[in-house]
Amino acid sequence: MYYKSKNRWDSYRQAQTRAVGLAQYKAFYSAYQVLFAYEMMNTTSVEMNSEELTRLLTCPYSGDHKIASIDIFLHLAKCRKDYYRKHGPCIDLQKCRYNGCHFVPKPEIEFHERMCHSNELYHECEEKMKYSPIPIVETNSENIGAR
C-alpha cells in the first residue's frame, strides 16, 4: 500500500490518515519503513535479516539517542526538525565527498556518505583509475618552429 505524492513523507501522512484501526496503521508503518530503507540503501532484494532491522544506531544529532536501524529515517526527520528550530537559517551544511550536488547538515554527513548512492560509483571510478595521470609537458613556442 503505497500512495503517490510529491514526496515520501506526504505519502506517509496521507496513508496514516487513511489507515483504519491501530493494527492497520502499525502494519503499514513498518512496511513503509522497510520499503523506504531499501530505497535509501539502493538494494533490490526484499530480504533483510532481523539483525539489520534491530541493530541500534546512534543519532548524529544527539549521542544519547539509540535507535533501531528500521526507525532511523523517522527519527532523523524529528531530530533534524528540532535542529533547524534551534539553529535557524545559519545551519552549517557540508558537501558530500561523493557527489558535489549533495549538501547535508553537518551532523548527518557521515550517515549520508555511508548511504549515498554516488558512493558506489565513486569507488568504482577510483578503482578503474589504476594509473596516475600523464603529466603535461610545456614547450616553448620557439622550439616548435625550430624543427
Least confident span in 2-16, 40-54, 72-86, 126-140: 2-16
Confidence of residue 43 (pLDDT cuts 50, 70, 90): very low
Residue, of 41 and 49, whose pLDDT is higher: 49
Q: Is residue 125 part of a domain?
A: yes
Q: Where are the beta strands (DSSP E) in the chain?
A: 56-58, 66-68, 93-95, 103-105
> pLDDT digit string (tens) for 133-147?
778 888 776 666 555
Among candidate residues 88, 86, 61, the one with its CA nearest the CA of residue 75? 61
Q: Which domain holds residue 115?
A: 92-130
User: What does the CA dihedral 44, 46, 48, 52 come to, rounded to 10 degrees?
Assistant: 60
- Taking the alpha carbons at both ends of the chain, their separation in whole angstroms is 76
The pTM of this model reads 0.40
Nearest 5°: phi and psi at 5? Answer: -160, 180
| Contact (CB, 8 A) for 116 and 100 | no
Q: What's the full length of the chain, in residues?
A: 147
Output the pLDDT for position 23.
Answer: 43
Q: Is residue 109 part of a domain?
A: yes
Count of domains in the chain? 1
For the cut 50, the answer to whether the pLDDT of residue 42 exceeds it is no
* Unique residue bearing C-alpha cell 512496511: 31
Q: Is residue 100 part of a domain?
A: yes
